[in-house]
A and B are shown apart, each in its own frame.
Chain A
Amino acid sequence: MTKDAANAPNLTPVLPSSRVSVPRLILVFLFLAALFIPGQYYANNKYWLPLYSKYMALALFALSVDLVWGYTGLLSLGQGLYFGLGAYAVGYSLKLQQAARVADKPLLAAPDMALPDFMDYCRLPEVPVWIRPLIDIRLALTLAILLPLLISTLFGLVTFRLRIKGVFFALITQALVLAVYTLVVNQQPYTGGVVGMTYLAKLELFGHKFVMTDMYYLITTILVICFLGCALLMRSKFGKIITAIRDNENRVLALGYNTAMYKTFIFALAGALAGLSGALFVSAYGTCGPDSLGIAWSIEAVIWVAAGGRGTLVGAILGAVLVNLANTYFNDKYTNAWPIILGSLFIGVVLFLPDGIMGGLRTLGRLSMKTFGRLRLPRAGQSVAGRKHEASVLPDTQRPPPAQPSQVPNIQALVTDPKGP
């Protein structure tokens, strides 16, 4: 047993601390502010700015993966499904608008509306009835969020009530995404097949056309809002229960929580976020293809999060941006080397850096605390007179559990214990 415990992965549960430390808060806000820098720096760069817009949309996708995998411990290899639903909803809309512009027709759903080129190639007589209303971008954007929300809720309800989890959950979500991919590629007249939809119109909302800098700021603002929402949620009691489910679901069940509903909620939320990110990605990228429904896409999204740091929201964004930046850079210079580098990243992160960049930074911070901060800090269990145990001063591991009685009796103490009884 002791040997087992020694061999167990060094994944110390990172709990959201009950008090927000001021330096950390400042760092997070600086990080969020830094996300806006490329919009200024590359303001007139037609190569890099759209790429950064794309990365920001993908960072939102990484947030969704992080909620499900990093915080709840459910490895979903099918987040690409929800991303793809959002992407195709907006893709249809922009494609129909483009076709209408070319044919000089009004942007209205009508039986004689302009046929997009891929439908034309496949000799479809008219735009199918279920695609027509999507020409209205407001409807498309609403659907891009609601449809993934609905499907992930249903899927979550069924799987989590049946207590399917772990490896089975991963493989079932993967099978589902493969089924949808095969379907989409096969139905070429309706979806554009392997190529998908290209030459999309620019996103136009409330009479304003979003291009270049506007687009970048739109996506980054949405990303920051979602980040703050997720951060608040994960710091709340709900977030604690979610992390507790990750670390030991049986105990949370035994404490009387309906874990299936908690997991369904977080899965649905992540589905909606993924749909939104898919929609933004397509409007930034100008192309909507079935790649995002492929198996590889969903697994790669997981590795962005893993590289940045699972279970931290900053890490998800950082990982998504850095890995995709590396992707652009290496694909440009050494096309053949990129799969090998990415594969090595998978292996390296899992073996050597299971908590990702954020985990590495945390270890560094802790080490420097030990080396430089020893004189200033009170040691654990030895409180300085007149000074409370401040959450910000003590490293995570030494922090005493919060004393205030809550509805979750001692759940922090319970979940920090890595093994069972």
Chain B
Amino acid sequence: MSFTDYETALSNSLSLGSILILTALGLAITFGVMRVINMAHGDMMMLGAYTAFVMTDSNAMGILVRNLGGLLGKDWRTDFGLHFNLYYAIPAAFLVTAVVGFLLEICLVRFLYKRPLDSLLATWGAGMIIQQVVKLLFGANLQPMHLPEALQEGWTIGHLTIPRYRVFIAGITLLCLLAVYLWFYRTSFGLKIRAVVQNRPMASAMGISTRRVDSVTFAFASGLAGVAGCILAHLYNIKYTMGNDYIVDAFMVVILGGMGQLAGSIGGGAIIGSGNSVVEKLLGNTSMAKVVVLVLVIVFIFIRPSGLFASKERTYD
């Protein structure tokens, strides 16, 4: 492994780590804090990616309308298409997935807060439905995405070229982290979330609408997944099954980092992301790198079940 290999691995881990952190950040809120397993989180990413597709690609509307017409047995066509760039697609992806997440919470997850294992099964089912609907609306093909020109080039430092888009991803991740931090620890709503998480009946007795807190928090976490998907879409292609590739990794990040710790997920994401890139360079094989990293993470969880940054709590389980 030469010096440049290390540098490429470093640059790869920057983007991969950022995406994992961003994906896991939403999960760290739903899984780590609210203790509900949202297996549809990966599909929220996929929805974000497809929102970006509709926003940026002028053909997307045509495909959507034609497939919708096909389902209803009508011959619909349109030349209309949105042609915004990535910067508008990110907030749009956030909004769309947040709305879907909100609906998912009030229709389904709300009833399953005390049954985490059942929430896992039910959200997996919800994820299947979302995937199939997207497949029906947009087709099963891979859809390529195009970056804005300003982000296509790279910066050259010495003999190393860092693609601008990877730096942009890291920037967006930092921005989201900052937003989550401020929201959680500097706003009155964040205070309410923490109160509900610590002691639900007491928070409710103090006049906090725990239902509203739950659904808004869940919607926000889903929105974060949408942003992650939107960014990921521009790094690779998009497909309706793309969420499945990340969901297990994201859960591993949250467990590795330690439940209930937002900081832990950042550490976990950075470790798994950079671990993946380094092992990939060492072995020269992406899939094998994934296998090695997954096994290492499982072994680590065996050794330290509470994760990297364990929050001290005493519970009667």
B125 touches A343 (CB 8 A): yes
How far is it, in angstroms, between the C-alpha of A419 and the C-alpha of B196 when the chains are bound?
22
With A and B bound together, what is the CA distance between A4 and B317 in angstroms? 15
> In whole Å, how far is A209's beta carbon from the nearest beta carbon of chain B?
38
Nearest Cβ on chain B to A298's Cβ, whole angstroms: 11
Most chain B CB atoms below 10 A, which of A176, A340, A343, A354: A343
Q: Which of B115, B116, B122, B128 contacts A339 (CB 8 A)?
A: B128
Shortest beta-carbon distance, A394 to chain B, in Å? 29
- Can you list, as one digit per residue, whether each of B271-299 has a CB less than 8 Å from chain A (1) or not (0)? 00000000000000101101100110110
Complex CA–CA separation, A302 to B115 (angstroms): 15
* B291 near A179: Cβ-Cβ < 8 Å: yes
In the bound assembly, the distance between CA atoms of A344 and B121 in angstroms comes to 11
Docked Cα-Cα span, A339 to B134, in Å, equals: 12
Q: Which residue of A lies closest to B118 (CB)?
A: A350
Check: A299 CB closer than 8 A to any chain B CB: yes
Cα distance A250–B172 in the bound complex, in angstroms: 45
Contacts of A162 on B, CB cut-off 8 Å? 302, 305
Contacts of A163 on B, CB cut-off 8 Å? 305
> In the complex, are the beta carbons of A347 and B255 less than 8 A apart?
no
Q: Are A171 and B116 in contact (CB under 8 A)?
A: no
Give the residue among A164, A170, A178 with the most B Cβ atoms within 10 A. A178
CA gap between A29 and B8 in the complex, in Å: 65
**B121, A174: Cβ atoms closer than 8 Å:** no
Contact stretch, chosen from A12-20, A82-90, A130-138, A182-190: A182-190
Number of A-B contacts (CB under 8 A): 126
Stretch in B162-170, B181-189, B244-252 touching the partner: B244-252
| B248 & A175 in contact (Cβ 8 Å cutoff) | yes
Q: Mark B137-172, 1 if CB is under 8 A from A, else 0.
A: 000000000000000000000000000000000000
Interface size on A, residues (CB 8 A): 47
Secondary structure at chain A's binding surface: helix, strand, loop or mixed?
helix
Residue of B117, B287, B291 near A170 (CB, 8 A) is: B117
Chain B neighbourhood of A166, CB < 8 A:
116-117, 317
Contact A167 B120 (CB under 8 A): yes
Residues of A contacting B301 with CB < 8 Å?
Answer: 164, 168, 172
- Taking a contact as CB atoms under 8 Å apart, the answer to whether A346 and B124 are in contact is yes
Interface assignment of B175: CB less than 8 Å from any CB of chain A:
no
A7 touches B121 (CB 8 A): no
Query: Is there a chain B Cβ closer than 8 Å to A158's Cβ?
Result: yes
Q: List 19 A-B contacts (CB under 8 A).
A: A162-B305, A163-B305, A167-B37, A172-B255, A183-B287, A302-B121, A339-B128, A339-B131, A343-B125, A343-B126, A346-B122, A346-B124, A346-B125, A347-B122, A349-B121, A350-B112, A351-B108, A351-B112, A351-B122
Contact surface of B with A, Cβ cutoff 8 Å: 37, 108, 111-112, 114-118, 120-122, 124-129, 131-133, 135-136, 201, 244, 248, 251-252, 255, 285, 287-288, 290-291, 294-295, 297-298, 301-302, 305, 316-317
Enumerate the 5 nearest inter-chain pairs by beta-carbon distance, A residue then B residue, closest first: A346-B125, A343-B128, A343-B129, A339-B132, A186-B287
